[in-house]
Chain A
Amino acid sequence: MNGLVVKQLTFAYRGGAPILAGVDLTVSPGEVVCLLGANGSGKSTLLACMMGFLSPQAGSIAVDGVDCQENPKKARQKLAYLPESVALWGFLTAVEHVRLVAEMTGTSPDPATLLRRAGLAEEAWRWPVASFSKGMRQKLALILATIRQPSVALLDEPTSGLDPDSAQAMVMSLRSLADEGVGVLVVTHDLWLVAQVAQRFGFLRGGRIVHQGQASDWQVLAGLFSGGSAR
């Protein structure tokens, strides 16, 4: 199956209680799925398992049919990953970032086209990224993460700390990604973002997805958030 398929994923740190206990999740191409849950519920850990940063004890993760454990390199090539509050390399300019990451991924996009499409002001292209605002950094980070046209994009709190304008720009970028057929999995606390971009949402609690539903189902969402502790 195309897109992202997670089956019965279980993960625990050595000697600790399970963080993820049998997580099932799918993200189809062109679909935006938001993963919600309280702090410490395992959302970022789930993304880390998908990226191969952590090795799950049980279960499987597949991207476009490629198993992430069996063939991590190939699977990672199909994934884009945007960590929370990425700082990037302050000594490089935006153009240099695009060129370097393009070279690393073996692609050759036109930096100007990408930066313009991401809405970065042209005069900022040659500034060192250290002088960028958080919103500008997030825009650039999203460009870098998706530079090799992935099948699935994994975004960890992409609107965290952004002002409304920057958050709106991020929403546009996510929609644009989905329109291109990329499956998008967003880990967030931001219900506004869920309402803006998501088709579906999953709610993680105690290491399990306790509820999956349509993003328009506000009453369920509100109930889940007010319904108790994270784990």
Chain B
Amino acid sequence: MQHVARALAKKEFLQLVRRRQLLWLGLAEAVLAFASFSLAGRQWQREAESALVLADTNQRRLANVSDWADLEGVGVLVAPPTPAGRFLVSSKTWPGFLVTVPELPTPLGGLNQEGLPSPAQALLVFYTLFALVLSFDVISGEKSQRTLGLLLAVTTSRRQLLQVKVLVRCAVVALMVIVSQLFAVLVVSFLFPDFVKDPSFFQIFSALLLFLIIASVLFVAVGVTASCIFPEPLGALLAAVGAWVGLIIAVPGVGVVLADAVSPPPNRNLFAAQASALYARYQQRRDDAMVEPLRRWMQEGPPAQPWFEAEANRIRRQLRAELQRELAALFASYLRAEERSAELRFWLVGFSPTGLYEGGLAALASADGTSWRGYLRAVTEYAQGLAETVEKRRGAVRFVMVGQPDPYAHSRPRLEDIPAFVFTPPLATLVGQLPRCLGLVVWAVTFFALAVVSFRRMDPR
């Protein structure tokens, strides 16, 4: 029966080539891929430049810090002792912690800061649409031009006919994804050579390629199913586009809205206000506790100064330790709320094709947050934000990055003095994303099964 499959495949391929569908869709995919990679490359370059500027700035700021007193009123950025996507911040002016998750530190992952679709999302939207265009008339087209009866008369079975048609479409779609993506990478490697040499690039690119191929195959399945259920090409097209809107846009959109309504993500501003209130209370308690030692020191004069310094330090340490415990509890509740929200989102959205695709890429993007680029980007953003905030209040701000080689380390608070949060991100590797790929495959198989059942019942005349 191989000769039947070979001849059918040849006919399908000729159909795609001679109708010029392949040419136009291939061109569109190449342009889209090029635009996406160019955007990502430019962003990567900006990040790299920011990192250099930050390193230089930090060096200069470090030079201005001489002792512990300088740290009063200085934002202290602490890189967590373990690789993590979160940064711990403690300062007198802005107490407590700030969680910064380095979003979009990698090419093509996640949402960008303005909430606009990232290049990866745009690729998903258009590539799946192109897969639909290539497949919605696979059976309905034959039926409408009355060649389905002829085909069934000369081939062995409906199953074989559908199998070959689907395999050809899947192969063509996969080839288009691979060629367009490789073309884009090739061109972008001339424009932004360092971008493609980034150690994280290969993993993210491989994941993107894999997810795009499987997502495209899934929408070939959707198109074929519509084609088997609706005998008219227009009906099949409308049904396929409807399914596409539902799976790509509506299901994830509704899921997110629902998840946010049931378990809203924690509000960072509220967290900041609560942390500030704790710190204000700490200041008040410290001032109150210092009244008595201060009075005694003033009464007894210089001989009591050593006692006073020791007592003041004891009170400060004790109250600071309490503050740190309270802040840690607050931060933990913030993280728990964040996790609850993320978990609900996962259950409502994570199994949709868009959720699986974005989940896989975002996981790898977060993993890349431990790389120097993601780290520096997060530090830069935080430092700039903190500088603006504090500068307005105090007129001056200095930064110190604890954990960097520091000539004045003796005068700094010890790392363990600052409430540390150890966040170990899941080990996200390409292999680790295979269950998500499998999820997309299950979707595709479900649609293919639906197509087979529908086609078996179809009157081919």
Give me the interface of A with B, judged by CB distance under 8 Å: 44, 48, 51, 53-54, 73, 76, 79-81, 83-92, 96, 100-101, 103-106, 141, 144-145, 147-148
- A48 close to B145 (CB less than 8 A): no
Question: Is B112 located at the chain interface by the 8 A CB criterion?
Answer: no
- A48 close to B459 (CB less than 8 A): yes
Question: Is B146 located at the chain interface by the 8 A CB criterion?
Answer: yes
- A106 close to B10 (CB less than 8 A): no
In the bound complex, residues from chain A placing their C-beta under 8 Å from that of B154 are 101, 104-105, 144, 147-148
- B150 close to A90 (CB less than 8 A): no
CB-contact partner of B149 in A53, A89, A148, under 8 A: A53
Binary contact readout B113-157 vs A (1 if CB under 8 angstroms, 0 otherwise): 000000000000000000000000000000001110110111111
In the bound complex, residues from chain B placing their C-beta under 8 Å from that of A90 are 145
- A91 close to B3 (CB less than 8 A): no
- B11 close to A144 (CB less than 8 A): no
CB-contact partner of B150 in A83, A92, A106, under 8 A: A83
- B3 close to A79 (CB less than 8 A): no
- A89 close to B147 (CB less than 8 A): yes
Binary contact readout B12-36 vs A (1 if CB under 8 angstroms, 0 otherwise): 0011001100000000000000000
Instruction: Decide: A81 near B153, CB < 8 A? Known: A87-B145, A91-B19, A96-B14.
Output: yes
CB-contact partner of A54 in B14, B18, B459, under 8 A: B459
In the bound complex, residues from chain A placing their C-beta under 8 Å from that of B157 are 73
Question: Is B374 located at the chain interface by the 8 A CB criterion?
Answer: no
Question: Is B8 located at the chain interface by the 8 A CB criterion?
Answer: yes
Interface CB pairs A-B, < 8 A, 9:
A44-B461, A53-B149, A54-B459, A73-B157, A86-B150, A100-B10, A101-B7, A104-B7, A148-B154
Cα–Cα distance between A44 and B149 once the two chains are bound (Å): 12
Question: Is B369 located at the chain interface by the 8 A CB criterion?
Answer: no
Question: Is B4 located at the chain interface by the 8 A CB criterion?
Answer: yes
Question: Is B46 located at the chain interface by the 8 A CB criterion?
Answer: no
CB-contact partner of B155 in A51, A104, A147, under 8 A: A104
Q: How far is the CB of A73 from chain B (nearest CB, A)?
A: 5
In the bound complex, residues from chain A placing their C-beta under 8 Å from that of B145 are 87-90
In the bound complex, residues from chain B placing their C-beta under 8 Å from that of A44 are 461
Number of interface residues of B (CB under 8 A): 25
CB-contact partner of A104 in B4, B149, B459, under 8 A: B4
- B146 close to A91 (CB less than 8 A): no
Count A/B pairs, Cβ under 8 Å.
75
CB-contact partner of A106 in B3, B11, B15, under 8 A: B3
Instruction: Decide: A100 near B7, CB < 8 A? Known: A91-B19, A92-B14.
Output: yes
Q: How far is the CB of B149 from chain A (nearest CB, A)?
A: 4
- A85 close to B152 (CB less than 8 A): no
- B147 close to A86 (CB less than 8 A): yes
Q: Which residue of B lies closest to A89 (CB)?
A: B147
Question: Is B460 located at the chain interface by the 8 A CB criterion?
Answer: yes
Binary contact readout B422-447 vs A (1 if CB under 8 angstroms, 0 otherwise): 00000000000000000000000000
Q: Which residue of B lies closest to A90 (CB)?
A: B145
- A48 close to B461 (CB less than 8 A): yes
Cα–Cα distance between A147 and B10 once the two chains are bound (Å): 19
Instruction: Decide: A103 near B459, CB < 8 A? Known: A51-B152, A89-B11, A92-B11.
Output: no
Q: Which residue of B lies closest to A77 (CB)?
A: B156
Q: Which residue of B lies closest to A141 (CB)?
A: B150
In the bound complex, residues from chain B placing their C-beta under 8 Å from that of A144 are 150, 154
- B150 close to A91 (CB less than 8 A): no
Question: Is B336 located at the chain interface by the 8 A CB criterion?
Answer: no
- Among the interface residues B10, B153, B156, which one has the most CB atoms of the partner chain A within 10 A? B153
Q: How far is the CB of B161 from chain A (nearest CB, A)?
A: 10
- Among the interface residues A84, A85, A105, which one has the most CB atoms of the partner chain B within 10 A? A105
- B147 close to A88 (CB less than 8 A): yes
- B461 close to A53 (CB less than 8 A): yes
Q: Which residue of B lies closest to A44 (CB)?
A: B461
In the bound complex, residues from chain B placing their C-beta under 8 Å from that of A104 are 3-4, 7-8, 154-155
In the bound complex, residues from chain B placing their C-beta under 8 Å from that of A147 are 154
Cα–Cα distance between A100 and B6 once the two chains are bound (Å): 9
CB-contact partner of A103 in B6, B18, B146, B147, under 8 A: B6
CB-contact partner of A51 in B3, B10, B149, under 8 A: B149
Cα–Cα distance between A81 and B149 once the two chains are bound (Å): 8
- Among the interface residues A84, A88, A91, which one has the most CB atoms of the partner chain B within 10 A? A91
Interfacial residues of chain B within 327-345, with CB under 8 A of chain A in the complex: none
Cα–Cα distance between A88 and B459 once the two chains are bound (Å): 18
Q: How far is the CB of B421 from chain A (nearest CB, A)?
A: 64
Q: Which residue of A lies closest to B19 (CB)?
A: A91
